[in-house]
Amino acid sequence: MMYRYNETTIRQRRIKFIILILWFCLVLLMVWHHAFWRDEVRALSLVKQSDSILSMIGGLHWEGHPALWYLMLRAAYFVFGEPWVLPMMSVMVGTAAVLLLVLRSPFGWGFIALLVFSKAMLFEYSVMARNYGISMLLLFSLAACYQRYRERNIVLGVLLFLLANTNLHSVLLTGAFLLFWLIDIVGEQGIRRTPAVRIYLLNAGIAVLGVIACVATLRPPFNDIIGGEGVWGGGSLVNKLLWAFFVPEGSVRLILFHHWPAATHLDEIKAVLGSLLVFGSLLGLVRWPAAFLAALMALIALSVFFSVVYSAYYRHAGLFVCFLVTMYWITREQTPRSELPLPAWMQRLVTPVVALGWGMMIFVVALQTVGGIAVAAGAVRDQVPFSRSRDFGMFVRQHPEFQHAIIIADPDVMVEALPYYIDNPTYLTREARFGNADKLTKNARLNLNLADILTTARALHARRGDPILILLAYNLDADQPQVYEEGPAWRTHTTPEEVRSFLASTRLLIRFEPAQSDETYAVYLLE
């Protein structure tokens, strides 16, 4: 019997090792094909242009993100001094998280395979060079360390401090984990002063310091134009809160249906059925009230945040899945610390309810895997790139006459991805300065017309003498007036006369389109 167990264990480890190698190879393949987008490169630009760590942190007031990812990039760039530290750090973070999952988690290889080949772990938190992969790594670290350090040391507090400084969403997850830890201790030892409570309070204090550091870094929490894409608008606040509490559509839609074609007439049905599925996936935790309540709090808190404060993308909603995995991970490694105070007939229902909840959890994760397979297949087929920034960079490098060209764009944010590929100077028309990271400030020119862009290009050429490349994210219409919008405040107006004047003063060199993002480029040369 012992021999069979060892043989089974060895076979499981081999399968997990194969899963790990396959995941790593797919990630490297996707990194090779990935064209970096402005939100990825912007962080590296801020790191490179800051004179010191303090000045860098001071500049993060405009970013909406705390400092941890920027500090990691700065350390890597200090050592290597090359832009490829951006994908290197992202892949390292994702790999560390997957290693923890494969080597330390109590899950079987089937569930691990579903997780690692999900869109979140295969792309969003490893290939996409953002700070969200750090949240996944820290949550899995908390799961791996919880049993050992629940009543000793400050390891968990330090991890929570770091978690609170990855992104705003993880501040909510930090609070949810503290709630789990508190209920777990109280459920076992009651409400009284014990060494475990003292350790908890110490670590909770460290976590709160992390939240304070996050808030201090982000003050003001958003730039002075975009206070959050979903703030208060578009309906009653009460309705938004009720919807977020009982039908967390923002979380559900992104977690379950992000890879499905849009079908407006099915939105309400998908929201209700998806909410039942996501809430049902929590039922596998009902034997552990601390984990169940913490997961419920995390789901509702994120949903309220997405509905009221800032609208979400898949990378944001996917953090809830990571938190839910963390709760399942911890509870799988322990027996319930106390029996639920339920009548006997309800106690008999607990086991099938837990099994049902676990089944729903598997289904939720499997839906993420569908998206991951689609992303991997797209990389293998060399599908439409995420951004056309790489193609434009290659175009500039292949034309010696443009090696020192000044690049301007409308909207200005279109230049932010370029520093990863080329070193050309870029000029921000709305802020009237050279740079490659917009502040999106109200102190910029919120309304431009095409004549303003042409005037700026001519002035730069007269001052510097270098060629001027103008990038437009939109197609010009010489037949009727147009208004092009970027975000809630930037507008560019054109008239047929301005378009004809612009086209007479420039030469269209090439178009780079389409792209999965909005980063397509029409490239004009000022003549």
Strand, coil or helix: 52? coil
Whole-number Cα distances in Å, 332 to 217, 288, 337: 37, 10, 12
Average predicted confidence (pLDDT) for the chain: 86
Amino acid making up residue 29: L
Q: What are phi and psi of 414, to 5 degrees?
A: -65, -15
Least confident interval from 98-112, 194-208, 426-440: 426-440
Q: What are phi and psi of 506, to 5 degrees?
A: -135, 170
- Structural domain spans, the chain: 2-380, 389-526
| pLDDT for position 485 | 83
CB distance 69 to 166 below 8 Å: yes
User: Percentage of the chain with pLDDT > 90?
Assistant: 56
* Confidence band of 383 (pLDDT split at 50, 70, 90): confident
60 pLDDT more than 50: yes
Tokens of 305: 């945040």
Q: Which helix or strand (DSSP H or E) is residue 254 part of?
A: helix 249-257
* Confidence band of 220 (pLDDT split at 50, 70, 90): low
Q: Which of 116, 118, 120 is nearest to 98 (CA)?
A: 116
* 409-419 pLDDT, tens digit each: 999 989 999 99
- Give the whole-angstrom CA distance, residue 250 versus residue 3: 49
Residue 96 CB contacts under 8 Å (≥ 6 apart), including other chains: 137
Torsion of CA 420, 422, 427, 431, to 10 degrees: 0
Predicted structure pTM score: 0.89
